[in-house]
Chain A
Amino acid sequence: MPRVLTFLPAVLSALAALWFLGFASPVADGETLTWSRVWIEGLGIEVAFLIDGLALTFALMVTGIGALIFLYTAVYFKGHAKLPRLLVLLSLFAVSMLGLVLADDAITLFVFWELTTITSFLLVGFDHEKADARGKALQALIVTGLGGLALLAGLILLGFEAGTFRLSEINAMGGLTTAALYVPIVVLVLLGAFTKSAQFPFHFWLPGAMAAPTPVSAYLHSATMVKAGVYLVARLSPALGGTDLWIWSLTLFGAVTMIWASVLALKQIDLKLMLAYTTVMGLGALMMFLGGESRYATAAAATFLVVHALYKAALFLTVGLIDKGTGTRDVTRLGGLARAMPITMMIASIAALSMAGFPPLIGFIGKELKYEGALAVATEPLLVATAALLANAMMVACAGLVAVAPFWGKRGDTPKTPGDVSVWLWIGPAVLAALGLWFGLMPDTLARVVVNPVVDSIAPGTKDVELKLWHGINVPFLLSLATFALGIVLYRGRAEIRAALNRPGFGGMPAADVFEALLAAFKRFAAWTARTVQGGRMSVYLRVAFAMLALLVWGAHLVSPAETLPPPGQVALIPLAVTGLILAAGFVVLVTNSRLYGLTALGIVGAAIALIFVFFSAIDVAITQLLVEMLVVIILAVALVKLPAMPFQRHFRAGDALIATALGIGVAFVVAAVLTRPFDARITEFYEAASLPDAFGRNVVNVILVDFRALDTLGEVAVVLVAAIAAVAALTAGRKSRRGEGGE
């Protein structure tokens, strides 16, 4: 791949970002743009897209941050053999994510949702030679995939309840909160959102996903994909929000996630893993504020959404720079890098100041808004505000760990001699960090283009939210001061805190352990099923198959019993005699001690059944039955030579007898019940009438087989061939082929 091509995704993404930026002005004026096309007509499913404030904000993040990350990736992995694969996967992901946030149809949204799950799986497992990366990729796939299934069920229920799959129509209709299926819809949709956005207790997959290359983590597992759950909750909150269930679920799960992830973040020594936990914290905060139900809380969520994406992507990329420059991400080994990597230090400092919420960065405004929003939430302002205060203080400490600890103090012992990296690598994080500063100084732009349009999409109202650096001395400002003080105390005591948190027996990853245990139990169950049902012995297979058939037949009887049984008709003497023959031969099969007798008796059963077909004028069936019977006897006779002699004493097997009796009587009942229904002869009449004029054959059976329903026959013939290939393979396995000796 020519080197210049590796920059193509970045260029395309930047162009897309500019294109989306063109919508900013009309959207800010309250316009929404839609586009739709019928997809599956009968089900009312469309491919529908919509651009409103919420969708546009996400689209700008996906394409804008995407452009910078694609550029970074192309340089970071310069000359790497798998760079093209990485870029293609990242681009596929970007398109999926874009589709997700622009979708206006629930099913369209779900399809893109699953595409992000799949591309994320491929990206986490990018280093697929490593067992750890594969395991973590699978873990992420299973957790988010199960959530996706729940979401699908939730969206379908929602669509049925609303009568449409158009999200904008669903949001506009109202009254869904009193619908009969409201509770299951909310539970299922939130399951999807919580798994995708790594909310407690599903948070463990996101740190695991750090097995991905750093640019991937920055893009998917921090700035974009993990926010899909947040997006979904925001998108559906006009339709589903406002109830106690909704508000409390979001507030509680968000708050718990936020606090717990902050604690776990302080525990980490790998900078990237620490950032992953702070991402989980950010997602928890977003969920919590979306449950706030006031325009202030929503504005806090909208602002923090952008703030977080900017500083977190910048910090992830910075950690990548540190990793590339020094060869390690271990915070205990890093120190004193400011002189060697001044540019990296500058970027990290600006981004971290935003993360810690210092003025004049946008992070400060975001944090003030959080406190304002927390005090305005509908449920428990005190609880939310306290949770936010604690989490923010821990964020201050984490910011210190990322931006202060590696760059100042004693020179650490690193595998490589540290040095700044090329301009093309640091330009991406630099732009992101600079945006954080710019928005902080010019908050009105952000308010007009992003925050208010987003708030309008989620919680319609008239009063615009203002973003200001200086609000005067009020409660949020005092809380900010408390945050800084507490954060600095936590940072100074970081070593002790980390040691305390890493004490054996504390915390760990209980959720991940539970997940692994469940997975292992499921695998054991699967192995047990395979052993039991697929026992490898013919008698086991037959027992399972016949027992299931008996259950089915009797189940059908019990669910819809036949009203009457047919009156006993006159049975001619000869069929009666043939039936007696079948019974006698069957009895011989049961009691004989000789395989040869048994085989012969089975042949008699088959031949007698063929005779019965003859009585009912089914000559073709009779001939087929007879020939198959002959072949079975021949083939079994060949095998007979090798089979061991029958055990002399055959014991009575009660279980098998029960299955056989149940199945036999059940089938007899079914046949009798079928005869009570009036016979619909239309199909028969059609074939009889059409066979000769249309297909030039008088044998209706054969004409059906080779003409009217030839496709069925083709399938069956293919099955015969496949079965033969399998049988030959099984029979010749492990043995030298004898073909060369005989034959031609």
Chain B
Amino acid sequence: MNSTILRTGSRVLLPLFLIASVLILLRGHNEPGGGFIGGLMAVIAVALHAIAAGPEAARAALRVEPLTIAGIGLLCAVAAGFWGIAAGGDFLTGVWPLLTTTPEGDKAGLPVGSVLLFDTGVYLTVLGAVSAILFALEDAVYAEGDD
């Protein structure tokens, strides 16, 4: 699609969307959001860029092959599972290495650990997988295309 307005706008919107998607990923534990929603948000940013500047430009912006991103995401999720085993629990048991127990028996510190790694994995898988489908579809359309 050849639209100057869209192209110019997407250049500003793309980083904003991506930042928002990461924010949604991070806030998900306490507020609406999470890896799945964040990943979808990122895909929409990529899709917008692909429409505005063409799939090649969107691919270049991602820098990494989308299916590779998805694969890394799945690896992250699996790694989070094994982290749980390594910490002495079952597969996928949550581990929060930055938490400490206060003398009163409460927990203090930053609740960041295997669960966030898992959610990041979900985020990357959704981002990579849906982007891959989108690019492949656009390739298929434009390859035979008369654009």
Contacts and interface: CB of A to CB of B under 8 A. Distances in A.
Given A638-B134, A702-B29, A724-B70, 10 more contacts: A627-B40, A627-B41, A642-B144, A699-B31, A710-B118, A713-B118, A717-B122, A724-B67, A735-B139, A741-B56
Contacts of A638: 51, 134, 137-138, 141
Interface of B: 28-37, 40-41, 43-44, 47, 51, 55-56, 59-60, 63, 65-67, 70-71, 73-74, 77-78, 80-81, 91-92, 94, 96, 99, 107, 111, 115, 118-119, 121-122, 125-126, 128-130, 132-134, 136-141, 143-145
A131 interface: no
B16 to A, nearest CB: 16
Given A627-B40, A721-B129, A634 B134 contact: yes
B44 A717 contact: no
A710 B37 CA distance: 16
Contacts, number: 166
Interface of A: 619-620, 623-624, 627-628, 630-631, 634-635, 638-639, 641-642, 695-699, 701-703, 705-707, 710-711, 713-714, 717-718, 720-721, 723-725, 727-728, 731-732, 735, 738-739, 741-744
A732 B47 CA distance: 19
A698 B30 contact: yes
Contacts of B81: 710-711, 714
Contacts of A721: 67, 70-71, 73-74, 125, 128-129
B121 A717 contact: yes
Contacts of B140: 642, 731-732, 735
Contacts of A627: 37, 40-41, 44
A214 B64 CA distance: 60
A70 to B, nearest CB: 46
Contact of A707 (B65, B94, B129, B143): B94
A197 B53 CA distance: 72
A380 B119 CA distance: 78
A731 B30 CA distance: 39
Nearest to B48: A634
Given A638-B138, A728-B132, A620 B59 contact: no
Contacts of A695: 94, 115
B115 to A, nearest CB: 5
Given A631-B47, A699-B28, A624 B139 contact: no
B125 A717 contact: yes
A249 to B, nearest CB: 53
Q: Give the 6 A-B CB pairs with smallest separation, nearest first.
A: A742-B56, A724-B129, A696-B111, A627-B40, A731-B136, A697-B29
A714 B129 contact: no
A635 B137 contact: yes
A711 B84 CA distance: 12
A713 B32 CA distance: 17
A132 to B, nearest CB: 45
B77 A717 contact: yes
A714 B82 CA distance: 12
Given A634-B51, A743-B56, A728 B67 contact: yes
Contacts of B122: 705-706, 713, 717
